[in-house]
Structure formats: C-alpha cells, structure tokens
Chain A
C-alpha cells in the first residue's frame, strides 16, 4: 500500500514537499518504480516522474527543472519536491507503483493528497 503525506497548503513561490510511505513490502526489494502523478481539481492526470530503489529516475521534462524525486529506503519512502509553485500546481498528488519500467502502467495508487497553492 501507498500513502501520501505532507502539507496541504503551500504558499506561492515556495516548495511543495510530499512523502510516500510504502507498506506491505520493501520498496528496496520490490524492483518497482515509485511514481508521482497529479490531477488538478476536475481535470485529467499528469505524470510527474518516478524513481527506482537504485536511485534511477525518470522525470517529465515539462516539470523537470522544478522537480526532485528522492528516496529513503531505510524508511521505505520516496519523496517529491516541487519548487517555485504557483496556483497552477494546485492538485491532488498521487504516489503510485509502476509495474515494469519507470514509465510503465500503474498498478497501485495511493489515495491522493490535495495540495493547494495559495497565500
């Protein structure tokens, strides 16, 4: 199972930081990529990026300069940092598991966390 956590309100120009905690198995031994996907309210899905326990990452180039995806295998967690946020970054953020490559289909999703960007 996957569970997102982090602040639900972020001020414009600041950094959005979220953590995904993996339970029911070891992220390190799973050989699956952990990913981040977001969904603005009432809109579609946008893939942000993914990470393997080795540290190998994939990023969406549209966000790459603002995105850092990292992991802490000792805590069975992986994290997302998104810098210089604006109102356009308001969305439900999901952590998820890719089956296969770092851009493969997603077979497990967290429940999602709504993060609002507002002053």
Chain B
C-alpha cells in the first residue's frame, strides 16, 4: 500500500496568516498518461465527515474558497491555507487516489494561535 506521511502533526497559526501542511508519498502518484497527480485534500471538523477541498493535487472542489490551494508533484505535496480564518480550525487529511487501496495521511490538526 502507498503510505502518506503528513507533517507537521499539528500546527497553530495566527488569524490572517498562512498555514502550510505537507504530505509525502512513499511512491510517485503522478499518473503519466494524464500527467495528473492523484492526490486529494480533505478538511474534517469535529463531529463532521471529511469535506473534499482539492483533487488532482491542485484542483479546487466547487464552493471551496480560493484561500485553499494545493501544489506539488510525484511524491511531495503541500496544502496552503492563506488568510487563516477561525472557521479553518480542523484536521486536514491527504489521500492518494492513484491506486487501490486509496490511503490517507495520518492527519494534521490546525489550531489558531
């Protein structure tokens, strides 16, 4: 199985600042035929299911604010949240959708400093 390792496990960022979460894959998840990175990002707030933020590493899901952006390729990816708002407090997960079984990172807890 592909292992995804997120860093850091938790971080605290001030309102209005930028939060950066990393996700490293144990193997490349860049699919050559379509030149797309098969990585998604989710946000999970307490007591709620995860919510899809980004897929193909950088494509924003409909309705997701453009403060959320994704970058990276092959094995190293980043989720960036700009202009942090109080509502962004959550646990964030990356997921590879390159091969079965799809696997998730361990999660990164984002808090307000």
Contact = CB atoms under 8 A, between A and B. Distances in A.
B101 A60 contact: yes
A103 interface: yes
Interface in B90-113: 93, 95, 97, 99-107
A47 B103 contact: yes
Given A44-B93, A44-B107, A107-B61, A112 B101 contact: no
Interface in B5-34: none
A111 interface: yes
A109 interface: yes
Nearest to A63: B101
Q: Most chain-B CB neighbours within 10 Å: which of A96, A100, A101, A104?
A: A104
A8 B55 CA distance: 32
A32 interface: no
B40 interface: yes
Interface of A: 44-47, 58-62, 94, 96, 99-107, 109-112
19 contacts: A44-B107, A45-B95, A45-B107, A46-B104, A47-B103, A47-B104, A59-B101, A60-B100, A94-B49, A96-B49, A100-B97, A103-B97, A103-B102, A105-B55, A105-B95, A106-B40, A106-B42, A107-B52, A111-B49
